[in-house]
């Protein structure tokens, strides 16, 4: 990345912060370190990191996973819906992108009853593409400050060459961390594991993917995700082992995966 001519980029402290960011791609404070680095170059009051997963044909979003945030929460607008509408400007750009992308956006915060209360923070987004995944860095600047200038947007585009590969590494770490947690859940006997968290995440994934499972299919999937064996689940539901296998096959067919391992990977978006 060429940082020549960029304010503060030649200072030892800047390279110290850059080193901290690079070394934190497997740590929870990655978002804070990224904010520190960017704010060293131009004023930014908050940022959010997310990973968007599209279907295989890259025509619609099936999941949006928050990867972290940093800065002033007041400058981060709440989403209007779990998934963006088809006419969303960011979504339109992301559907057609080939390489990395810098998008300048206009957003509004909302007050009571959905009414616009004030102009929101100035916003722009850096986006990378890797197959059917998009890693997004949303940058916010307080509405009391000036909007991004053309030179600052050019700087961000140049900076994206270094930032986007780092967030892709962090997104991969996040997926692997979720898989490890899933492994620890599955190692716990079903009788000792409260299913509340897994059930909530499972229902969220079903909604995002627009998939409907029968009650029995859900019970079998949740039983397996909670670490239960086929005989344990059969005994709990008072069904035959073969019936549990049948419900699992029906459920995983709807999810587009195969077997218990495929169910686990689908659960974490891998």
Query: Whole-number mean pLDDT of the chain?
Result: 80
Do the Cβ atoms of 20 and 33 come closer than 8 Å? yes
Beta strand 101-105 with 122-130 is: antiparallel
With bands split at pLDDT 50, 70 and 90, how would you rate the model's confidence at 30? very high
User: What confidence tens digit (pLDDT) does each residue in 165-219 have?
Assistant: 999 988 888 877 766 655 554 444 444 444 456 787 888 888 888 888 988 998 8
The proportion of the chain whose per-residue pLDDT surpasses 90, expressed as a percent, equals 21
Question: Residue 80: CA atoms inside 13 Å, Cβ hemisphere, count?
Answer: 11
Do the Cβ atoms of 257 and 265 come closer than 8 Å? yes
Does the pLDDT of residue 5 top 50, yes or no? Answer: no
105 forms beta bridges with 123
Q: How far is CA 168 from CA 50, 75, 138, 162, in A?
A: 10, 24, 14, 11
Query: Which of 7-16, 28-37, 71-80 shows the lowest mean pLDDT across its residues?
Result: 7-16
Q: Where are the chain's structural domains?
A: 12-174, 188-267
pLDDT of residue 207: 84
User: What confidence tens digit (pLDDT) does each residue in 225-241 have?
Assistant: 877 888 889 988 888 99
In the CATH hierarchy, which fold is given to the domain comprising 188-267?
Answer: Arc Repressor Mutant, subunit A (1.10.10)
Q: What is the CATH number of domain 12-174?
A: 3.30.450
Q: Which residue has the tokens 């898989």?
A: 179
Do the Cβ atoms of 225 and 263 come closer than 8 Å? yes
Do the Cβ atoms of 90 and 84 come closer than 8 Å? yes
User: What confidence tens digit (pLDDT) does each residue in 105-129 have?
Assistant: 765 544 444 444 445 688 999 999 8
Helix, strand, or coil (residue 129):
strand
* Tokens encoding 63: 């999941």
Query: Which of 5-9, 38-42, 148-152 shows the lowest mean pLDDT across its residues?
Result: 5-9
Does the pLDDT of residue 140 top 90, yes or no? Answer: yes
Cα R_g (the chain), whole angstroms: 22
Between 177 and 262, residue with greater pLDDT: 262
């Amino acid at each position: 990345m060429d940082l020549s001519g960029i304010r503060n980029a030649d200072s030892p402290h800047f390279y110290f912060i850059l080193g901290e960011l690079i070394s934190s791609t497997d740590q929870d404070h990655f978002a804070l370190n990224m904010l520190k680095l960017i704010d060293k170059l131009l004023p930014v009051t908050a940022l959010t990191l997310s990973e968007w997963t599209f279907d295989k044909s890259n025509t619609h979003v099936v999941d949006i996973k928050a990867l972290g945030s940093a800065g002033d929460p007041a400058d981060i607008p709440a989403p209007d819906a779990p998934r963006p509408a088809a006419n969303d400007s960011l979504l339109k750009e992301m559907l057609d992108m080939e390489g990395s992308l810098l998008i300048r956006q206009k957003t509004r915060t909302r007050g009571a009853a959905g009414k616009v209360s004030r102009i929101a923070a100035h916003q722009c987004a850096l986006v990378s593409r890797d197959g059917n995944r998009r890693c997004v860095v949303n940058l916010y600047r307080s509405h009391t400050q000036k909007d991004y200038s053309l030179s600052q947007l050019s700087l961000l585009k140049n900076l994206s060459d270094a930032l986007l590969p780092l967030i892709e590494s962090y997104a991969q770490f996040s997926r692997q961390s979720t898989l490890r947690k899933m492994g620890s859940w599955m190692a716990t006997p079903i009788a000792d594991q409260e299913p509340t968290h897994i059930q909530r995440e499972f229902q969220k994934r079903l909604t995002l993917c627009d998939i409907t499972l029968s009650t029995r299919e859900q019970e079998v999937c949740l039983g397996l995700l909670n670490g239960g064996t086929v005989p344990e689940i059969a005994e709990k539901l008072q069904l035959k082992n073969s019936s549990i296998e049948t419900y699992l096959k029906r459920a995983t067919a709807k999810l587009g995966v195969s077997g218990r391992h495929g169910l686990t990977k689908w659960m974490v978006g891998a």
